[in-house]
Amino acid sequence: MDGQMIEKQRFPSPNPHINVFLVTYLSQGLKVKGFLAEPKAEGTYDGFLYLRGGIKNVGKVRLARITQFAAEGFVVMAPFYRGNQGGEGNEDFVGEDRYDALAAFRLLQAHPKVVRERIHVFGFSRGGAMALYTAILERSVCSVVVWGGVSDIELTYWERLDLRKMMKRVIGGTPTKYPNRYKWRTPLYDIEYIEAPVLIIHGEQDRNVSIEHAHRLERRLKETGKRVTTWYFPHFTHYFPPKENRETVRRLAEWMKRQ
């Protein structure tokens, strides 16, 4: 069953107050791996689905990052996506691998320390599109945060010359030749199905994922009458300076808990 945890191994944690586990769970019959981080203190917590960017070894889940969120009072699940770090299948860049995110959401729903109705979804970079699809497919998502997030896969193809070879290989061709394959991976076309409030965080100097992705997402959310909040940072790139990064994490955690 999707989201069923079939293996859980203790993993060294960079934070003495957070337990970290390497878990294996099922997604469409595949064994997918990920990190689970949970506060040691007794009690129940909001769930936090962390969806990374990149593909394969680029943009791997960083323990320091997920324990940073867990320390804000969340049980955090961070899937590696299919085919990565010992998992089965092949990652396909917001294709079928979106179901790995959805299955990880199911895993959080079954977690004994998670309040089932209080699970948030966070996506960074390419993970932004994954987060939006999770909220499109699962109406009970409590809130969505898209940080430096991709919202239009075709736009990514035209903007990122360095990713074109990978995208043609994974998706099967160019947007000109296979427009529907790119459209199917672009959550903007299904935004009307989102019911959760969305927070968009983006640096206006971002050269990895242009601010245009944020603007297109904001526009579509507003056109469809959805709840949207934007935090745009005029001087920041894809990666925020450490101090501002910590402050933004704290602020977004507070925002989530108000939803």
Give per-residue pLDDT as tens, 4-36: 999 999 999 999 999 999 999 999 999 999 999
Query: Would you place residue 58 in the very low, low, confident or very high pLDDT band (cuts 50, 70, 90)?
Result: confident
**Residue 56: pLDDT over 90:** no
- The whole-number average pLDDT for the span 45-59 is 92
Please name the residues in contact with 104: beta carbons below 8 A apart, sequence gap of 6 or more. 3, 25, 27, 32, 34, 49, 77, 78, 79
pTM greater than the 0.95 cutoff: yes
Quote the pLDDT of residue 59.
84
Q: Please tell me which residue in 13, 27, 125, 143 is annotated as part of the active site.
A: 125
Residue 125 designated active-site: yes
Residue (of 73, 70, 71, 26) closest to 50 by Cα position: 70
Q: How many domains does the chain have?
A: 1
- Helix (H), strand (E) at residue 218: helix 211-223
Mean pLDDT over each residue of the chain, to the nearest integer = 97
Range of the domain at 78: 5-258
Termini Cα distance of the chain: 29
**Residue 57: pLDDT over 90:** no
Task: Sort residue 43 into left (φ over 0), alpha (ψ -120 to 50) or beta.
Answer: left
Tell me the C-alpha distance between 224 and 183, whole Å.
Answer: 18
Tell me the C-alpha distance between 36 and 21, whole Å.
Answer: 5
**Residue 167: pLDDT over 90:** yes
Count the residues in the chain: 259
- The whole-number average pLDDT for the span 79-90 is 96
For residue 100, the domain's CATH number is 3.40.50.1820
Contact 123, 49 (CB under 8 A): no
